[in-house]
Structure 1
Amino acid sequence: MPSKKKLVLYFGLGGLLPVLFFLIRDITVQGEVIDASFWLDKLISFIMAYFLTATTSATVMFIPIAILEKFLPWHGNLWKRITIEFFITEIIAIVTCGLLHHLLWVLGYHGPDHINVTYTESLMINIAIAALMNLFLVTVYEGIILFSYWKLSIIQNEKLAKENMASKFEALKNQVNPHFLFNSLNTLSNLVHTDPQRAEEFIDEFSYIYRYILEKKDQMVSSLSEEVEFVKAYLRLCEIRFGEGLKSKIKIEVDELESRIPTLALQSLVENAIKHNRITSKEPLTINIYSKHGNLIVENNYQPRPEESNSMGIGLNNIKERYEMLCDRQPEFYLNETSYFAKIPLIQPA
């Protein structure tokens, strides 16, 4: 709703509009002779016309529209509201104008001396003006109201969209944490029995990595430099487990390090490569991470396991959905004869 100050200004200007009409009309009728008495008549006409129109406008606006807004709001009642509002306000405008005109006529003001009209002619002229002014003022007033509602609805829709996106994004990201935790604890369980010393090293690295996850849990995106450091730590965990069976190489252009990617997306791609490929000292898995043409690429030699490991449904689809909410570019995943490629866009900081 418009503020009271705006409405007061609006009614004030609404009262001035018909005065202009009266002035043009009277000057036209007066002709060439314009003396002091003419301007005195203009002053009186100004005061009377302003009082007449402003009072009518205030009556029409504040009373019936306030009632209609309470019992017949715009939402879901558009045409019914328009019809009833214009009908009621026109009736009130005509009746109010007629009463005020009669009062002024009884008090002796019949209009400027040089305009000779009968009571009925004067009444009809003023009623016509009041009716037209009512149509204009109600249209403008309700236009202001509808525009205010429209702006409010846009703001609310944007807010709801952002809240929905944040909620969906958080749900997607929360899928990653349990998945990573499950795989890490499973690895630790195996190491405890086979290599206690490496298990201790694994715990130290794991504590650092999970601390990072907890710190970033509320962030949709993180800088590439942070994610690369995190993945280096993650790869150290994997190297403890697989030994010579896993090799990695990271080469990122310096000017790309401040770019953004979805939090933990890089780790998910590395984990995906490890999960779906054979890793042995005789058949090592090599993971190359590098930037190229505004993208981050995770490349690994393709040596799929005879039987795919169990999957919790986390991975590439998760990353795709997160990118859909972040930018208009999408990840690409493809395979050639020897290697598998995961290419995700680098998001430039705002």
Structure 2
Amino acid sequence: MNRVKWVLILWLILAVSTFFQLFAVEYSGRYDYQLIDYMITPLGTMFNGVLLFFLMVLPFFDVTSKYSNFKRILFLCLFGVFYAFVFILTLHLIPHVFYPNPSDYKESVFSFIVGDFHNVLKNYLFQIAILYAFEFIGKERNSINQQKNLEIELNQTKLQILKSQLQPHFLFNALNSVVAEIDENKQKAQEMIVNLSDILRTTLNSNFEIPITLEEEISTIKKYLSIEKTRYEEQLDYEIKISPEASKMKLPSLILQPLVENSIKHGFKGFNNSLKIIIEADEGEKSVFVKNNGAKLTSQIHQIGLNNVAERMEIFTGNKNSFQIYQEGEWVINKILLK
């Protein structure tokens, strides 16, 4: 509901209250009103107030918005006195239109100024208060919307930067794996290129702003792991434990690939045994885990892939702790929270 409707409601309330005020005065025996009094006085007051609101109050209020708060309040106060006189002068013209024998105009105006001038000022202040309230609400709403738009634009810019970092980073590492197999096993290299082609198609067509299902993410991860499995053979093993229910969870596209890549890259550092990677999900906790039993985590690893994951998950969930990496027994665990 806008400010004009609220002011109209205000004048309607005043008209109704005037009607009951007349009734109370007559009921007390202080004055005997006619039916025309019950019609003309409340409706005339409302009509006069609404007319002056549109002709005087609303235009003047909007015009003064360009001034400082002090000047604006000063001008509105001075204008209120002028408005009160205009309201009284025009209000007392109404009886001369509808009553056959109206009272003396000057006398009725003077007596009304003496007895009810403050009430007219109160009505004026109520209107100004409503206009101020809606102006404040409008400014706050615009400020919130602008802040939200800026946050959306900032997040979109961040995602584009992260995407530009991730795609070359992923591509170079995958190509190195293919190159390592070309001379030794061409058939394996060809299989790796086919999988890499599918991964690149998915990567280039992905929209970082639109979440995908875990099932779609795992489909890409399997192709990546197949490339690395061809390269490392028996040295690398992996297992994916995703229930049909958990596979429907939504997450940012290509969010697991840097975690799997990091598990292989850092898992083999100083590690002579076969490396195992486990990907599993907890539907109840809304979380996904990428585990490896490779080299132990001695300190928090800071590099492009993991930093991108942390930033993207913060944008996705609004939670700074939505990505965690820690050591638990023999396992290095990457955990992402989807809520």
Which TM-score tier does this pair reach, normalised by the shorter chain? Answer: 0.7 to 0.9
Once the two structures are TM-superposed, the CA of residue 275 in structure 1 deviates from its matched residue by 1.1
Give the match's secondary structure for 2:316. Answer: coil
Q: TM-score, normalised by structure 1?
A: 0.79
In the other structure, the counterpart of 2:216 is: 226
Give the match's secondary structure for 2:256. Answer: helix
- Paired with 1:149 and 1:281, the residues of 2 have a C-alpha distance of 61
In the other structure, the counterpart of 1:57 is: 53
1:130-169 mapped onto 2 (5 Å cutoff): 130-169=120-159
Report percent identity of matched pairs. Answer: 23
- 1:68 aligns to 2:64 (yes or no): yes
- 1:42 aligns to 2:54 (yes or no): no
Q: Select the residue among 197, 215, 231 that pairs with 1:207.
A: 197
Structure 2 CA distance for partners of 1:53 and 1:125, relative to 1, 3 Å: farther
Once the two structures are TM-superposed, the CA of residue 139 in structure 1 deviates from its matched residue by 0.8
- Paired with 1:264 and 1:19, the residues of 2 have a C-alpha distance of 65
Give the match's secondary structure for 1:291. Answer: strand
Conserved in 2, the CA contact under 8 Å of 1:104 and 1:110?
Answer: no
In the other structure, the counterpart of 2:76 is: 86
Conserved in 2, the CA contact under 8 Å of 1:242 and 1:279?
Answer: no
Structure 2 CA distance for partners of 1:271 and 1:33, relative to 1, 3 Å: same
Structure 2 CA distance for partners of 1:92 and 1:189, relative to 1, 3 Å: farther
Structure 2 CA distance for partners of 1:52 and 1:337, relative to 1, 3 Å: closer
In the other structure, the counterpart of 2:172 is: 182
Q: Select the residue among 207, 212, 230 that pairs with 1:217.
A: 207
1:269-298 deviation line (CA, Å, top 9, x unaligned): 110011113389963222122234633222
Structure 2 stretches of 5 or more lacking a match?
A: none
In the other structure, the counterpart of 2:334 is: 342
Paired letter, 1:331 = F
- Paired with 1:126 and 1:336, the residues of 2 have a C-alpha distance of 81
1:197-346 mapped onto 2 (5 Å cutoff): 197-278=187-268, 283-292=273-282, 294=285, 295-303=287-295, 313-327=303-317, 328=319, 330-336=322-328, 338-346=330-338
Structure 1 stretches of 5 or more lacking a match?
A: 306-310
1:118-158 deviation line (CA, Å, top 9, x unaligned): 65222333432321110011111221232233333333332
Give the match's secondary structure for 2:34. Answer: helix
User: Aligned-residue CA RMSD in angstroms?
Assistant: 3.5
- Paired with 2:22 and 2:331, the residues of 1 have a C-alpha distance of 90
Once the two structures are TM-superposed, the CA of residue 106 in structure 1 deviates from its matched residue by 8.2
1:91-106 mapped onto 2 (5 Å cutoff): 91-100=81-90
Conserved in 2, the CA contact under 8 Å of 1:221 and 1:260?
Answer: yes
- Paired with 2:9 and 2:238, the residues of 1 have a C-alpha distance of 75
Paired letter, 1:229 = S
Paired letter, 2:102 = Y
Q: Which structure would you say has the larger RCO, counting Cα contacts within 8 Å and 6 or more residues apart?
A: 1
Name whichever of 266-275 and 329-338 sits farther off. Answer: 329-338
- 1:110 aligns to 2:103 (yes or no): yes
Structure 2 CA distance for partners of 1:238 and 1:111, relative to 1, 3 Å: farther
Conserved in 1, the CA contact under 8 Å of 2:26 and 2:32?
Answer: no
Structure 2 CA distance for partners of 1:19 and 1:246, relative to 1, 3 Å: closer
Structure 2 CA distance for partners of 1:198 and 1:68, relative to 1, 3 Å: same
Conserved in 2, the CA contact under 8 Å of 1:301 and 1:338?
Answer: yes
Give the match's secondary structure for 1:120. Answer: helix
Q: TM-score, normalised by structure 2?
A: 0.81
Once the two structures are TM-superposed, the CA of residue 35 in structure 1 deviates from its matched residue by 10
- Paired with 2:200 and 2:41, the residues of 1 have a C-alpha distance of 82
Structure 2 CA distance for partners of 1:37 and 1:173, relative to 1, 3 Å: same
Structure 2 CA distance for partners of 1:280 and 1:209, relative to 1, 3 Å: farther
Once the two structures are TM-superposed, the CA of residue 51 in structure 1 deviates from its matched residue by 3.8
Give the match's secondary structure for 1:201. Answer: helix
- Paired with 2:222 and 2:151, the residues of 1 have a C-alpha distance of 35
Name whichever of 263-272 and 161-170 sits farther off. Answer: 161-170
